[in-house]
Amino acid sequence: MIHIATIHHNSTRWIDIQLYFISHNINSPYKIYAFLSGGAIKHKSRFDYCADEPIEDHADRLNYLADVIVRSANDEDYILFIDGDAFPIEKIEIALSKIDSNTPLVAIQRTENLCDVQPHPSFCLVKVKYWKEIIGDWRSGYKWDTPFGKVTDVGGNLLYRLNSGGKKWIPLNRTHSLGSHPLLFGIYGNLVYHHGAGFRNAYTRSDLLIKPKSIFARARYLLVPKWLPIKIMYKLHWLLRLYPLSLKENTKESNLILSKIVEQKEKLFQKVILGNYNA
């Protein structure tokens, strides 16, 4: 049994498409546990379990769903954590076949997000027994070194517990993209699509290093030294009004790509993987 944990925050725009791809790409028995908020709550009947507790933090919501799952699941079952704007584009059983006692976890790793090295909950498959053994935790906290200073993010504590337990894990790295952005709209391991920023403003850490299309904005971009700590670069992006420009460009591309996914479904991803797609 695969127990799927997902979150749809204040939006229904991804529910239909995620459920469609899950139903077409999992042969094993599965149940879906959803944390819903806002308008998404009216779709609770479409999931096997629904939570709408007053919890705001993304990692805490994931931990809540995991606690619900481990209380009823068998040790040999699997938990699949997957963001609401992510879904499998190939059979999940491909990832299941990679898991064993030495590599008990498969997850997306977004090194393109300014050197993130931790497992990311946009897709993470792990055996229930192992999640219980390490007392799995999606919260940030544990920091790692990057060329831009130490950082932490969702999944940081999980990385620490994997390292502490001496267990290897299998990273799914970016293989293709549906757009021009280096982080958003990515396909990982030719297995999973993660749109990125599907429930918030389409602005990411990696936007700090993206040159604006506008010539005038590029002049302002050059005023931000890339050796600065990330927090300082963020502040300069706000002060130089690079943030709203990036947000506008990313949002436009995000909406365009979502429309393509809704219209073409599997055909779109087949074209991308076969090299017949132009972003």
How does pLDDT run across 89-98, given as a tens digit for each residue?
999 999 999 8
The answer to whether residue 219 sits within a structural domain is no
pLDDT band at 228 (very low <50, low <70, confident <90, very high): confident
Helix 266-273 with 242-264: angle, nearest 10 deg: 110
Question: Is residue 74 one of the residues assigned to a domain?
Answer: yes
Number of structural domains (the chain) is 1
Mean pLDDT of all residues in 142-165: 91
Asked if residue 279 has pLDDT above 80, the reply is no
The residues near 158 (Cβ < 8 Å, ≥ 6 apart) are 118, 119, 136, 137, 138
Quick one: average pLDDT of 30-52? 97
Domain-located, residue 120:
yes
pLDDT of 277 strictly over 80: no
User: Does the residue 93 lie in any domain?
Assistant: yes
pLDDT band at 213 (very low <50, low <70, confident <90, very high): confident
> Domain limits at 98?
2-175
11 band by pLDDT with thresholds 50, 70 and 90: very high
CA distances from 71 to 77, 114, 162, 188, 196 (A): 12, 36, 22, 30, 30
What is the tens place of the pLDDT at every residue in 103-139?
899 999 999 998 999 999 999 999 999 999 999 999 9
Contacts of 274 (CB under 8 A, 6+ apart): none
Indicate the SS3 state at residue 36: strand
**Is 278 part of a structural domain of the chain?**
no
What pTM does this model have?
A: 0.94
Single out the residue of 206, 184, 209 nearest to residue 83, CA to CA: 184
- Residue 2's H or E segment, with its range, is strand 2-9
Residue 231 and residue 7: Cα distance in Å, rounded? 28
How far are the Cα atoms of 20, 110, 119, 122, 191 from residue 173, in angstroms, in the given order? 24, 7, 11, 12, 10
Residue 160 belongs to some domain of the structure: yes
Domain containing 134 — which CATH number? Answer: 3.90.550.10
Between CA 34 and CA 41 the distance in angstroms is 10
- Summarize pLDDT for 45-57 with one digit per residue, the tens: 999 999 999 999 9
Report if residue 196 sits inside a domain: no
Q: Is residue 266 part of a domain?
A: no
Report the share of the chain in percent with pLDDT over 90. Answer: 81
Give residue 167's pLDDT. Answer: 81
Whole-number average pLDDT of the chain: 94
